[in-house]
Amino acid sequence: MKVYRVEEIENNTVRVTHAIEAFTPFQAAVKAIGREVRLRKDEPSWIRVTETLTRANQTRDGRVFEYSIGSYPAHG
């Protein structure tokens, strides 16, 4: 498993930061917030997930992924 830095962001302000062990950045986001996530478009509340080396080294030097909370609306 990898360690990810997961940040909950609202209106460009980091509200909460987590260090999460997971197999993928998507899983890290879900594990951190305990809710379903999807790829981010332009929502003001979103989740930034960054690859890190260890829990102690939480620098934002790795790849960055952006997610939003919730699922896509149903098509119909």
Q: What six digits make up the tokens of 10? A: 């609202």
In contact, 12 and 46? CB cutoff 8 Å: no
- Whether the CA torsion 19, 57, 38, 23 is positive or negative: it is negative
Q: pLDDT by residue (tens digit) across 43-54?
A: 999 999 999 876
Q: 30: helix, coil or strand?
A: helix
Q: State how far the Cα of 30 lies from the Cα of 7, in Å rounded to an integer.
A: 12
Q: What six digits make up the tokens of 70? A: 């919730």
pLDDT higher than threshold 90 for residue 57: no
Residues in the chain: 76
* pTM of the complete model: 0.82
